Structure 1
Amino acid sequence: MTVTYVIEGSEVTGLERFWQVIGEAVNGPGGYFGRNFDAFADCLGGGMGTPDDGDFVFEWRDHSLSAQALGHEETARYLRQSLSRVHPTNRPAVQRRLDDALAGRGPTLFDLLVDALTSGTAPGTLRLM
């Protein structure tokens, strides 16, 4: 039997709130399902609340509201924070991504999350509504 996890897009006001919303969707109030992209990918791999057989879907309701909240402005904020923490050899690449986000170009956090959800799970696992 397929388990459906609902992501309420209207509750996603930024990246930190996304981590809370998806954690609670999968594991209940206060639940955890990653707090960064690497941890999120690990959680999508199984064993962190989703069925071991992989028979689950994420239904992302009002995803257009999330897309706005996780757009270029939030992407730039995230990259600005990341810039000081990344290895010095990665700073030029992160700076280019930041420059693109500030100019309204390139993938957004929403795009990256959708990519993680579609590439890290079985086909059809993500339903954008």
Structure 2
Amino acid sequence: MESGKNKIIINGSHFSDLPGFYDEVSSVLMKETEWKIGTLDGLDDILYGGFGVFESGEEIEIIWKESQKSKEDLGLELTRNFYENKIRQGKPFNIELIQQKLDDLLSGKGQTLFEILIETIESHKNITLILD
């Protein structure tokens, strides 16, 4: 492998919703494992490294191709549906918290799924995220 950071590419043209995002990330970060990402917590866990294609603390660069498409796909509409589905499901979800997140989203103060995913990835100091 070349010296420097390990490059990982997420391709936004491969998905248009959150389950599709998890499938894409699983296919690039969890190659040759049975484990698949299916939640935001799962994504956060994998980004610590040591499970898939990079080691814990290893410097990596994630290039998110077609990120503008993903920003639109994982935007307001999909995020609203995401929260509304959790509210409909009820337990084990904290309905008051999710309702607050939905209210914040609809008033322009909350984060879209795209923004939440960006924040989750960028919270890992060993990861450089490039939106392409």
Q: For this structure pair, what is the TM-score category when the shorter chain's length is used for normalisation?
A: 0.7 to 0.9
Unaligned runs of 5+ in 1: none
Q: Do 1:33 and 1:48's aligned partners in 2 also have CA atoms closer than 8 Å? A: no
TM-score (norm 1): 0.83
Percent identical: 26
Question: Residues 31 and 102 from structure 1, CA distance in 2 versus in 1: closer, same or farther, beyond 3 angstroms?
Answer: farther
Aligned counterparts, 1:109-120, within 5 A: 109-120=113-124
TM-score (normalised: structure 2): 0.82
Which stretch of structure 1 is more off in the superposition, 21-30 or 90-99?
21-30
How far has the Cα of 1:91 moved from its partner? 1.6
Structure 1 46/70 Cα, relative in aligned 2: closer, same or farther at 3 Å?
A: same
Shift of 1:25: 1.7
- Equivalent position to 1:44, from 30, 44, 47: 47
Task: For 1:81, give the aligned amino acid.
Answer: N
d(CA) in 2 for partners of 1:109, 1:31? 25
2: CA distance, partners of 1:29 / 1:10: 22
Alignment of 1:80-99 (within 5 A): 80-83=84-87, 84-87=89-92, 90-99=94-103
Instruction: Find the partner of 1:17 among 13, 20, 24.
Output: 20
- Structure-2 separation of matches of 1:31 and 1:128: 28
Structure 2 gap segments, 5+ residues each: none
RMSD (Å) for aligned C-alpha atoms: 2.4
